Structure 1
Amino acid sequence: MSLLEPSPLLLSLLLQQAEPSPPPAEASSQPESPSFFSRLRPEGGVDVYYGHNFNRPANAANFIPGTGTSFKRDDEVALNLVSLGVSVKPAPVGMKVLLGFGTGAEVVHAAEPEGIATGPDLWRFLQQASLSYATGPLTLEAGLYPSHIGFESFQSQLNWTYTRSWMGELSPYYQTGLKGTWAFDDAWSAQLHVLNGWQTIGDNNHGLALGTQVAYAGERLSASFNTFVGEEGTEGEDGLRLFADIVATYAVTESLRLAATADAGTQRIPGAERAWWYGAGLNARVQLAEPVALAARVEAYRDADGLMTGVTQTLTGGTLTLEARPSDVLVLKLEARHDRSTADVFATHETTADGAPVPKDSETLVVLGATAFF
């Protein structure tokens, strides 16, 4: 080989250097979703109360049977709700599991139908357990999740008052099934629910129920129209339930907000054509200072055939609540409440020969509730 002739190795190196470098890979136009575990968030709280019922009920039970998810026990420090769970925001898959313990949890699950592998004893500690999937404007959720009906939440810190309204107590706080939510834009949305029934995890018949919602959320006005249609009679009985609920809130000023609710329901019952019930309430909340607010509520609930409360009656009530938030994770509420019925339904200190409280037509309560949450 001549000294002037380049070696094969040198030619190879020169050719490699002459070859253009491959272009850098283009950045993906879609950002990567955060991992499932990075979206995992713990949550929970402790809701404790002490209050006095001027009726001094012999059985220490406030309100009427089947209600009282916020202040059921009289003249004792009691735990209304101790909750603990985790949540994962859907991106696109999410989930939430929340356990609840306390007097409120006992009351809200008391109507669970008894059956094989279901009943209040089985589900009494379960507050929410659901899977979710989000894609574009559509979000799907399946399992046990909060109800789409009503103005009030089962969690006390989310409500304007400490005790719940009669419409809140006598409509679902939770439901089990499949929910689809479609967001048309930033203000309008719609929901469709396929449900086991009216605040049940198990079911007492083979008929499913449907629920709907149309909602608007503006800068000052928010409103929703909610429905429920489903068989609520036990197996073999005619019990088609139709229910509609309207909720509206309006920010009058930066410190004053108003809310109005109205319910109407009907159901076929054995031995009669239909049972009817309806109610309405007006709420106001004014921010007195940064940590202090005052809320008031007036309401009326007519159970025309005794289906929802067990007694044909009209319930009326008024509530006044002073709220203080000494920190972002603590809410204190001092509340006075008076309720009256057209029937004798509220327990008193006197008892009958068999030890049952003698009822009267009114009840006055004073309660202090404290809720810490994260």
Structure 2
Amino acid sequence: MSFPSLALCGALLAAAMPVFAQSTDSSTAQKTASDTATAKIPFAGYDLTWMNGQNRQRDFPLTLKDQSGETVLTGVALLDGNFNYNFARPIDHTQTISAVTGRSQEFSLALASVGLETNYKNIIGRLWLQTGSLLHLVQETDGSVARGRNTGTGDLKFIREAAAGYHFNKAYGLNVELGIFMSYIGLESYVMQENWSYQRSLVCDFTPFYFQGARVQFYPARTFKTELWVMNGWQTYNSFNRQPGLGSSNYFRPNENLQLVANFYLGKDTRPAADSLAAGAAAYPRRLRFHHDNSIVARYYHKPRNQRRGITQAAFSLNNHYGFEEGAGAARRQNFMLGSSVAHRLWFAQDKLAFTVRAGFVKNPSRYLSFSPSVVGFADGGTQLTAKELTTTFDVMPSDFVTFRLEYLHRLANVPYFAGRGGTTSPSGYADQPLPAAWQPDLRRTEDRAILSVNFRL
């Protein structure tokens, strides 16, 4: 599934959290020389544009400043498109098991987004609008919008992020915000330009991309950030039950070459059982969801800018996940999710070329977090799921504003899980065909794909 800048914290742009979901769409206001000389700025002087899940922009040309030179408002625009080729060539052109690519053998505009951000005079304000094919892929999993009226992804799906808050000059910064945020769970971002690979890892794709609620960010030291979150639920605009979800995120960056992260989530994200609805709120199931992920991102080789020949940078990232659901008939021994993703990246030619290799796995026996391989005609049958993946990615980056990307992805599951030649919609591949009684989606244990993508960001 990735963040907003904080007032008086120019360098915090690079400190933004990554998201299964998370985005660093910050164009943080730079303070005047006199202000910066006395301000306590977390992660001051760090260049974090190399990190997995972080925006690699160094310049933000759409910036409005006041007469003193302080940034008042920053605009950002991005476009991301892809051509996804699935070697199984499903007849319905439906790409499954992905929150990034929804179609195969077709060109797709995955994401188009424009936004405005401000950190002027300690005020925190953000509004990002969005459209594109991945909106449906991400938001269709939000079952909370079926509870009552005045809900629905249709009301909010075009708002990627919107928040208001205030920055308090305590320690190295204290920020209080309320709104819709990109998720803090996971390493890889909602915005593909910020990730080392285009298709997100399985462990990140199965976790949230957005939250609606409130958060408090506190920077007790120059190298550390901790956050407390209260939200409606696990990637939901509304809530399933009376209890809100709670979260915690912790970042430690002793220098610009190392990042350590630990994130936590606790909430009740199931709707009442149908046979207990008449009993009222007391009959709500006590099914508890817990999720934890931690990551290490380290750069172990870096050439100075005046020596940019051959390999210029080398880094790796490791992202681990563990979570479970228990209660109301759910046993932790089956209702758990375990997974990991490790990536290694090399930069060449003055950082204009890069090559990434990533491997990962996920184990989710009850499939409570996994994507369903077909909307119709699919019977789970209680089969457990373990999947593995290997990805290679080659990037061409002529500037900080454009990325051309070619990627090859291989996935393997212990059960038929990925779309085959027959597709997952109907015998003809069209959704309006009545389904024969014996029809089942064509699912395979392996998947091979090639993805060509181009993104622009200013």
* Counterpart for residue 77 of structure 2: 44
Q: Check if 1:373 corresponds to 2:434.
A: no
Distance 1:121 1:318, change over 3 A: same
Distance 1:96 1:344, change over 3 A: same
Distance 1:48 1:289, change over 3 A: same
Distance 1:289 1:58, change over 3 A: same
Q: Which 10-residue stretch deviates more, 314-323 or 129-138?
A: 129-138
SS at 1:259's partner residue? strand
> What displacement does 1:40 show?
1.5
1:347 aligned residue (395, 412, 419): 419
Contact 1:79/1:103 (CA < 8 Å) preserved in 2? yes
* Counterpart for residue 13 of structure 2: none
C-alpha RMSD of the superposition? 2.2
> What displacement does 1:63 show?
3.1
1:74 aligned residue (93, 97, 104): 104
* Counterpart for residue 243 of structure 1: 291
Q: What are the ranges of 5 or more consecutive residues in structure 1 without an aligned counterpart?
A: 1-28
Contact 2:100/2:137 (CA < 8 Å) preserved in 1? no
> What displacement does 1:123 show?
2.2
SS at 2:106's partner residue? coil
Q: Check if 1:265 corresponds to 2:320.
A: no
* Counterpart for residue 167 of structure 2: 134
Larger gyration radius, structure 1 or structure 2: 1
* Counterpart for residue 284 of structure 1: 344
Contact 1:69/1:103 (CA < 8 Å) preserved in 2? no
> What displacement does 1:273 show?
2.5
* Counterpart for residue 149 of structure 1: 185
* Counterpart for residue 10 of structure 1: none
Contact 1:109/1:123 (CA < 8 Å) preserved in 2? no
> What CA distance in whole angstroms lies between the structure 2 residues aligned with 1:267 and 1:246?
19
Contact 1:90/1:134 (CA < 8 Å) preserved in 2? no
Letter in 1 for 2:449: L
Letter in 2 for 1:135: F
Q: Check if 1:233 corresponds to 2:291.
A: no
> What CA distance in whole angstroms lies between the structure 1 residues aligned with 2:207 and 2:117?
25
Letter in 2 for 1:338: H
Distance 1:304 1:91, change over 3 A: farther
Q: Which 10-residue stretch deviates more, 111-120 or 200-209?
A: 111-120
The superposition leaves residues 48-68 of structure 1 with CA deviations (integer Å, 9 ceiling, x where unpaired) of 10121011123312232xxx2
* Counterpart for residue 200 of structure 2: 164
> What displacement does 1:91 show?
3.1
Contact 1:295/1:320 (CA < 8 Å) preserved in 2? yes
* Counterpart for residue 132 of structure 2: 102
Q: How does 1:111-130 map to 2 (within 5 A)?
A: 111-112=141-142, 113-114=144-145, 115=147, 116-130=149-163
> What CA distance in whole angstroms lies between the structure 1 residues aligned with 2:111 and 2:404?
15
Q: Which 10-residue stretch deviates more, 239-248 or 263-272?
A: 263-272
The superposition leaves residues 168-202 of structure 1 with CA deviations (integer Å, 9 ceiling, x where unpaired) of 11111111111111111111111110111111121
Contact 1:58/1:347 (CA < 8 Å) preserved in 2? no
SS at 1:55's partner residue? coil
2:366 aligned residue (305, 324, 327): 305
Q: Check if 1:318 corresponds to 2:390.
A: yes
Distance 1:90 1:339, change over 3 A: farther
> What displacement does 1:356 show?
5.4
> What CA distance in whole angstroms lies between the structure 2 residues aligned with 1:238 and 1:289?
56
SS at 2:447's partner residue? strand
> What CA distance in whole angstroms lies between the structure 1 residues aligned with 2:203 and 2:340?
8
Number of aligned positions between the proteins = 342
> What CA distance in whole angstroms lies between the structure 1 residues aligned with 2:341 and 2:139?
25
* Counterpart for residue 27 of structure 2: none
| Structure 1 runs, 4 residues or longer, greater than 4 Å off | 34-38
* Counterpart for residue 333 of structure 1: 405
> What displacement does 1:269 show?
5.2
> What CA distance in whole angstroms lies between the structure 1 residues aligned with 2:202 and 2:35?
49
1:57 aligned residue (70, 87, 90): 90
> What displacement does 1:226 show?
0.4
Q: How does 1:201-220 map to 2 (within 5 A)?
A: 201-219=237-255, 220=257
The superposition leaves residues 253-305 of structure 1 with CA deviations (integer Å, 9 ceiling, x where unpaired) of 11100100100001125433231111011111110222100011100000022
> What CA distance in whole angstroms lies between the structure 2 residues aligned with 1:262 and 1:90?
37
Letter in 2 for 1:216: F
> What displacement does 1:30 show?
8.4
The superposition leaves residues 199-242 of structure 1 with CA deviations (integer Å, 9 ceiling, x where unpaired) of 11212222101101221012221111100001111142222111
Q: TM-score, with normalisation over the residues of structure 2?
A: 0.71
> What CA distance in whole angstroms lies between the structure 2 residues aligned with 1:268 and 1:80?
35
* Counterpart for residue 9 of structure 1: none
> What CA distance in whole angstroms lies between the structure 2 residues aligned with 1:305 and 1:188?
36
Q: TM-score, with normalisation over the residues of structure 1?
A: 0.86
Contact 2:207/2:369 (CA < 8 Å) preserved in 1? no
> What CA distance in whole angstroms lies between the structure 2 residues aligned with 1:30 and 1:373?
29
Q: Which 10-residue stretch deviates more, 324-333 or 119-128?
A: 119-128
SS at 1:39's partner residue? strand
The superposition leaves residues 296-355 of structure 1 with CA deviations (integer Å, 9 ceiling, x where unpaired) of 110000002221125520010000000011122111110000011111111112265646
